[in-house]
């Protein structure tokens, strides 16, 4: 099992999350949690009062002991729109990593210290710590943060209190939720992204790696990657590596921009900006190896917009490799079709 690393972000609720062994998000942030799998390692960013100031700290490591599930029992805060239900019902279960329990946190500045030392090219910026509930980390970042926590806690501690939320019922999350009759559209963009993240084979297929992934290939999926001063976030970046001469070498990066509605030609320019930012942010990702993928719903009768989109992609093909797919629901099955079909 190749564990992935993530940073959970909740400055207010760490003590509750630790007590229950749970982390949750709202429906609109469902996509952020969908990239975490049972067995992954997570760190927890929170805030502590230090003298007269409030400073950020990282706790962990924690191991994820469940898949994504739904449970609305109130533990963090009640949803005003749905009395008696928690505002954050989309959840995972976590516990201190038994191999080495670190009870002392490290300051958040560790990310910037490591970046300035040239040890990592972090995908994290200050805006991500404000806007994101979950931040996927590069493998290199996760290993260095794990190491920093062990250095702060050279001897494993003990945590024997148990986790009150580990007995909670885990209801399966239905990600195929649509609106509309003739042409169905995802209820929220978060559901489309979450569905892809929970079905990585579809991501590989759309990226052109459906038949090539074997023991000599590895991949890392990052979602909601902050783009610093450019604003916004890249929906999904999938990095592909191949083992050559016992070394893992980055060979491809595919950037996904998702729309629950139709894809406007304007979004080609947005995807191009994200391709450029991926080349800046991700170690080993060179501009010429980055593919772009746009996904939106079926155009229906909006043929003019579809033709304009095709023309815009054709105009930039010498500089950027961009494909577009439309999704549709046929006989209750979600299908992804190339734009030309």
Q: Which of 167, 187, 208 is the last residue of a domain?
A: 167
What pLDDT, on the 0 to 100 scale, is given for residue 283?
Answer: 80
Residue 229 pLDDT more than 60? no
Q: Which of 112, 145, 167 is the last residue of a domain?
A: 167
- Residue 109 sits in a domain whose CATH number is 3.10.590.10
What pLDDT, on the 0 to 100 scale, is given for residue 61?
Answer: 97
* 107 and 209 belong to one structural domain: no
Query: Cβ distance 111 to 142 under 8 Å?
Result: no
Boundaries of domain holding 105: 5-167
* 222 and 118 belong to one structural domain: no
Question: Number of C-alpha atoms within 13 angstroms, CB side, residue 92?
Answer: 26
Per-residue model confidence as pLDDT tens digits over 65-104: 999 999 999 999 999 999 999 999 999 999 999 999 999 9
* 50 and 116 belong to one structural domain: yes
* 204 and 242 belong to one structural domain: yes
Does residue 173 belong to any structural domain of this protein?
Answer: no
* 312 and 230 belong to one structural domain: yes
Query: Cβ distance 217 to 248 under 8 Å?
Result: no
* 132 and 200 belong to one structural domain: no
What total of structural domains would you count in the chain? 2
Cα end-to-end distance, the chain, whole Å: 38
Does residue 147 belong to any structural domain of this protein?
Answer: yes
Q: How far is CA 262 from CA 41, 169, 207, 302, 334, in A?
A: 36, 37, 20, 9, 16
* 85 and 104 belong to one structural domain: yes
* 57 and 148 belong to one structural domain: yes
What pLDDT, on the 0 to 100 scale, is given for residue 232?
Answer: 74
Calculate mean pLDDT across residues 156-184: 93
């Amino acid at each position: 099992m190749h564990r992935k690393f993530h940073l959970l972000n909740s400055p207010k609720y760490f003590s509750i999350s630790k007590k229950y062994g749970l982390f949750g998000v709202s429906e609109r942030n469902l996509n952020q949690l969908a990239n975490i799998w049972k067995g992954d390692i997570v760190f927890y960013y929170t805030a502590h009062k230090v003298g007269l100031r409030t400073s950020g700290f990282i706790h962990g490591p924690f191991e994820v002991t469940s898949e994504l599930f739904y449970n609305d029992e109130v533990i963090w805060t009640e949803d005003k729109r749905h009395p008696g239900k928690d505002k954050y019902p989309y959840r995972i279960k976590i516990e201190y990593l038994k191999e080495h329990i670190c009870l002392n946190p490290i300051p958040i500045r560790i990310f910037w210290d490591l970046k300035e030392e040239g040890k990592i090219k972090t995908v994290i910026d200050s805006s991500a710590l404000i806007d994101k509930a979950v931040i996927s980390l590069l493998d290199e970042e996760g290993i260095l943060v794990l190491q920093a926590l062990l250095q702060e806690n050279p001897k494993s501690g003990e945590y024997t209190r148990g986790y009150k939320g580990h007995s909670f019922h885990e209801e399966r999350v239905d990600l195929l939720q649509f609106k509309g009759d003739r042409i169905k559209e995802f209820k929220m963009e978060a559901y489309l992204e979450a569905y892809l993240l929970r079905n990585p084979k579809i991501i590989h297929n759309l990226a052109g790696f459906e038949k090539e992934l074997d023991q000599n290939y590895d991949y890392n999926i990052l979602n909601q990657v902050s783009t610093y001063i450019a604003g916004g976030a890249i929906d999904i970046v999938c990095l592909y590596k191949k083992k050559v001469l016992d070394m893992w070498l980055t060979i491809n990066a595919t950037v996904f921009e998702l729309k629950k509605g139709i894809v406007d030609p304007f979004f080609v320019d947005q995807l191009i900006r994200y391709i450029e930012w991926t080349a800046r942010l991700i170690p080993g990702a060179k501009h010429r190896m980055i593919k772009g993928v746009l996904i939106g719903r079926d155009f229906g009768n909006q043929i003019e917009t579809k033709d304009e989109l095709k023309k815009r992609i054709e105009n930039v093909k010498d500089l950027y490799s961009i494909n577009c797919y439309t999704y549709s629901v046929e006989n209750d099955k979600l299908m992804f079709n190339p734009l030309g079909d």
